[in-house]
Amino acid sequence: MKYHWQIADTQPGLVADLAGWLKISPLLAQCLLNRGLAEPEAIGFFLQPRLKHLRDPFLLLDMETAVARLFRAREQREPMVIFGDYDVDGVTSTVLLIEVLRRLGWMASWYLPHRVDEGYGLSPEGIENCLRKNPATLLLAVDCGSTAAEPIQRLQGSGVDVIVLDHHQGSSPLPPATALVNPHLRRPGMSDTASARQAVPGSDFTELCSVGLAFKLAHALLKRAREAGLPEAADFDLRPLLDLVALGTIADIVPLVGENRILVSAGLERLNTTTRPGLIALKQVAETPTPLGVHEVAFQLSPRLNAAGRLETAEAAVELLLAPNLEVALPLALSLDAHNRERQKIERVIAVEAGSAVRARFQPERDFVIVEGQQTWHVGVVGIVASRILQEFYRPTIIAGGDGALFRGSGRSVAGFDLAAALRECGDLLVRHGGHAMAAGVSLDPANLDAFRARLNELARRAFRPEDLTAPLRLDAAVGLDELTFESLAELDQLKPTGLGNPAVQFWSPTVALQRPPQRMGAEKQHLKLWVGDRGGSHEAVWWNAANQALPTDTFDLAFAPQINEYKGRRAVQLKVLDWRPAAT
């Protein structure tokens, strides 16, 4: 076994009740229970996500203040600038707000920092370059700013008001912004008031990333604009912007629950029918299938939009999404595709070097985190490399590259270890830090790397139990192979879109056997095709990158994700192998 199997508890009585009430199969009912959905009303919201169920944007802390300050800027014809971020969430947030603000009458410009030269967020260099290029008296920081207390204090003191629209954890003290719209922040008593008025069960806005917050701000501005009778607002439709919301939300790997489920469900429909020239060109260059789903957005569109910002500046990504026609968009999409290929080459080299460095020192019983850095490693790809290292070793991982005299690193974590909180415990060893529980960034002096690794390792040692250090494999139910039909999988598709917080269905079948010898596939024969059967039925299975894996010689239990495979006109149920274990005797 590669994983620690976590098999969901069977609840036959409740499963039968739900299946009867909702007229669904027991298998779908079990999957819903596994996702914390036990009440028919909540399940109704989940299975039928609707835009009309989105909550009032003014329930967000400081939204009223932000909207009032923005309308004052519009009335007084103040120049304002959106200061974004160079990842897909920051890019889509910037594009969405530029389109809305300009159409509704604001004098709005935009700026994205250079990853290598200026770094993340409101750095001194980024602010100086932004305001030199875009003189403004109002700065809207998007997807950054929640920890920028000193820079925002200086801006406010120099006559530039700052509104922050962000979903990252905040600093202590919080920045003294004119408005700080962040769903993780609460005033005393606010959560009770908000929960009493929420429309989507279980949603408190904390699932939103910055493009989701940008959509909420756009909604709030449109409401106020219509109340004020602004002619520009009369026929303004926010729904075409949902292609951007789906793109940024999927790319940022935030939970696809609550409002995100609604926004991504509607946004994927828009992505598949978008008339936005930039996205038409990007889909053409990426050769995406029809229809697009979460997987295609995450692994075909997002990396290309991210590529320019990883190596240089993300301005080309904004220009692509704002492109007025295909003649402008297609060269930009081709350029981003070329950047992505270059990024992949750089990433492969660093992944090999970082992996070798980790293997040379790694001791499972001693090392609860992984921290590696080299001045020669490109800071634009260290986050992707950290994800790769984490997949191999299943430890919170920070990989750092050279940033002048400093290291700049990106980290990824595992369940049970809040990386952003841990970095706060290491603040005396770091120049800058910030992020989420599962992903964060740091800057530090290379001389502090060993001390930082030791401190972080001690924090993780206290947080983890032994079982936390083996990757879990969540399994929804035991199924017979004959239960997996086109009809049953079509019903399970109601759980989509799946992702963080709403994982794709994964099952296990006990006591199956190989029906014929495995077949190697792929250019390097690195994949395996299997034929497995039990007493009730049989299916083809694929096991990716498993050419060197041990294979069962007797009956075994198989963990898998079911899927429909369509190839050369043939359509079949197929199992994606996740793991196996010897069958119980």
Confidence of residue 144 (pLDDT cuts 50, 70, 90): very high
Give dist(CA 408, CA 116) in Å, integer. Answer: 9
Which CATH architecture group holds 362-469? Roll (3.10)
Give dist(CA 32, CA 495) in Å, integer. Answer: 8
**How confident is the model at residue 436, as a pLDDT?**
82
Q: Please check whether the domain covering 53-268 is classified as CATH 3.90.1640.30.
A: yes
**How confident is the model at residue 161, as a pLDDT?**
97
**How confident is the model at residue 172, as a pLDDT?**
83
Q: Of 271-285, 305-319, 437-451, which gets the smallest average pLDDT?
A: 305-319
Residue among 371, 381, 487 nearest 429 (CA): 371
Q: Is residue 379 within 8 Å of 116, Cβ to Cβ?
A: yes
Cα dihedral angle (300, 305, 306, 308), rounded to 10 degrees?
Answer: 130
**How confident is the model at residue 200, as a pLDDT?**
61
Which CATH architecture group holds 4-48+472-582? Beta Barrel (2.40)
Specify the higher pLDDT residue, 329 or 197. Answer: 329
**How confident is the model at residue 197, as a pLDDT?**
38
Residue 529's DSSP bridge partners are 519, 542
Q: How many CB atoms lie within 10 A of CB 520?
A: 12
Q: Give residue-wise pLDDT tens across range 164-223.
A: 999 998 888 899 999 999 998 865 444 443 333 345 655 679 999 999 999 999 999 999
Q: What is the pTM of this model?
A: 0.89
Q: How many CB atoms lie within 10 A of CB 489?
A: 14
**How confident is the model at residue 196, as a pLDDT?**
35
Q: Look up residue 259 and give its two tokens.
A: 């409002």
Q: Give residue-wise pLDDT tens across range 359-408.
A: 999 999 899 999 999 999 999 899 999 999 999 999 999 999 998 899 99
Residue among 112, 109, 174 nearest 136 (CA): 109
Confidence of residue 37 (pLDDT cuts 50, 70, 90): very high
Q: Of 42-51, 202-211, 283-292, which gets the smallest average pLDDT?
A: 202-211
Residue spans of the domains in the chain: they are: 4-48+472-582, 53-268, 362-469
Contacts of 130 (CB under 8 A, 6+ apart): 81, 83, 111, 113, 139
Give dist(CA 306, CA 51) in Å, integer. Answer: 28
Specify the higher pLDDT residue, 185 or 298. Answer: 298
**How confident is the model at residue 190, as a pLDDT?**
44
Q: Please state, for a pLDDT cut of 70, what percent of the chain lies above it.
A: 97
**How confident is the model at residue 508, as a pLDDT?**
97
Q: Give residue-wise pLDDT tens across range 515-547.
A: 999 999 988 889 999 999 999 999 999 999 887
State the SS3 of 209-232: CHHHHHHHHHHHHHHHHHHCCCHH
Q: Look up residue 88 and give its two tokens.
A: 């897909």
Q: Is residue 134 within 8 Å of 112, Cβ to Cβ?
A: no
DSSP 415: T
Give dist(CA 277, CA 329) in Å, integer. Answer: 6
Give dist(CA 147, CA 164) in Å, integer. Answer: 10
**How confident is the model at residue 551, as a pLDDT?**
86
**How confident is the model at residue 192, as a pLDDT?**
40
User: 233-257: buried (b, 16+ CB within 10 Å) or exposed (e) per residue?
Assistant: beeeeeeebbbbbbbbbbbbbbbbb
Q: What are all long-range contacts of 330-336, with beta carbons under 8 Å and residues at least 24 apart? A: 330/281, 330/284, 330/285, 332/278, 332/281, 333/278, 333/281, 333/282, 333/284, 333/285, 333/304, 334/285, 335/308, 336/282, 336/285, 336/304, 336/305, 336/307, 336/308
Residue among 306, 399, 287, 282 nearest 89 (CA): 306
- With the C-alpha atoms ordered 129, 134, 135, 140, is the resulting torsion angle positive or negative? negative
- Three-class SS of residue 432? strand
pLDDT at 273 over 90: yes
Give dist(CA 581, CA 29) in Å, integer. Answer: 27
**How confident is the model at residue 497, as a pLDDT?**
96
Q: What is the mean pLDDT of the chain?
A: 92
Q: What is the mean pLDDT of the segment spanning 449-461?
A: 96
Residue 402's DSSP bridge partners are 407
Q: How many CB atoms lie within 10 A of CB 44?
A: 12
Q: Give residue-wise pLDDT tens across range 466-501.
A: 888 999 999 999 999 999 999 999 999 999 999 999
pLDDT at 416 over 70: yes
